[in-house]
Amino acid sequence: MWSLLTRSFLYFNQDKRLRLIGKYFEIILSALVNAMGARAFSDLGMSPEEIEAFLQVVQKDIKDIRYHSYMEYIFWMGQKPE
């Protein structure tokens, strides 16, 4: 069984579980941006200082709760046959 869900994981969500998922997603997204951004932007010819400055702006925007971000995700669930 699978389902496609669209959810907001921001801090104003009433569901405590979704707020926690949102916090985890913020941490994962921050690490992903730092890990993948450095290589991609260096290939575009940006200097390490420019990359660091840009990634700091991105990190700040990820934590900004004025942006109401939504994401779609697919959830799979199964049960091992007996």
Q: If pLDDT is split at 50, 70 and 90, which confidence band does 28 have?
A: confident
Strand partners, 6: 72
Q: Give me the percent of the chain exceeding a pLDDT of 70.
A: 76
Contacts of 58 (CB under 8 A, 6+ apart): 33, 37
16: containing domain: 2-76
- Structural domain includes residue 82: no
- Structural domain includes residue 81: no
Q: If pLDDT is split at 50, 70 and 90, which confidence band does 18 have?
A: confident
- Structural domain includes residue 44: yes
pLDDT tens for each residue of 42-82: 888 999 899 999 989 988 887 777 776 666 667 677 778 87
Q: Token pair for residue 47?
A: 């200097």
Q: How many domains does the chain have?
A: 1
Q: Average of pLDDT values for 3-10? A: 51
Q: Which residue has the higher pLDDT, 3 or 40?
A: 40
